[in-house]
Amino acid sequence: MNIKDNIKKMAAKINKIWKKCNKTIIIVVFIIILLLSFVIIIVRVNKNKLPFDKIESVKLEDVETLYKNINAVSCTDGLYLGIEEGKEIKVNELDNVVLLNYLFRFLERNELLDDKINESIITKNAEILFYGVNESIFNDINNFQYGDYLYTIKKNQITRKKKVCSSDDVYVSRLFGYTNNEQELSMDVDIGKLVDGILYDMEGNKLGNYDGEEIKLIGLFSGAPFYRYNYVKINGTYKLKSVILVSRDLD
């Protein structure tokens, strides 16, 4: 075999190897393109879902915890009284006694009520709960009754003495929905007053007989206005900002 034939043979081998390499390169490039396309699709989908994920980030337990501050009224009017239908009442416009009921319910749940309470406990927790409140809220604790205790102020300290609650009022409430975004939360609550087995709305309108079965509340409250509690989230904590009495659209 002469040199010319050897060169041709070698060229044929190189060409064969090059063709194989080209196929491999093409396959690798194709796979890379597919992977990149897949990654781009995932990123775009996740990007589109991000606001929705943030909106749904609130936990139901957090909402239920807020609801526990209003679902029990102890010997004093609750936060939901004195609100005109369709009107938004900001926290600093609400009666201080109304706020105190909300505040003391929170203190009770967190085992902060005692025979002696420092003023700092009240002011600190009021700042946690409310988005701006009247600074005179502390003074209104004097002769404020919560449960079977009457609270009075002595200098910068609150003391209490036993006094049986004389109120026989029974209130019924139902948390039925909430909406939220990154910084705000609105909680919708039905509230009524129970008198001799008959449920009334807070305006005194008769809703119907109620025997304690919660499922019946859906129908009883179906035509009554509900209360929307609006919260703003600051430093990871939801603070009550306002309350609205909302009419239901029966149409």
pLDDT in tens, 171-185: 888 899 998 888 899
- pLDDT value of residue 181: 83
pTM over 0.75: no
Q: Domain boundaries in the chain?
A: 1-57
pLDDT in tens, 120-157: 898 889 989 999 876 677 788 888 888 899 999 988 88
pLDDT in tens, 77-103: 555 667 788 888 898 888 777 788 889
51 — pLDDT class (breaks 50, 70, 90):
very low
Residue 75 CB neighbours (<10 A): 18
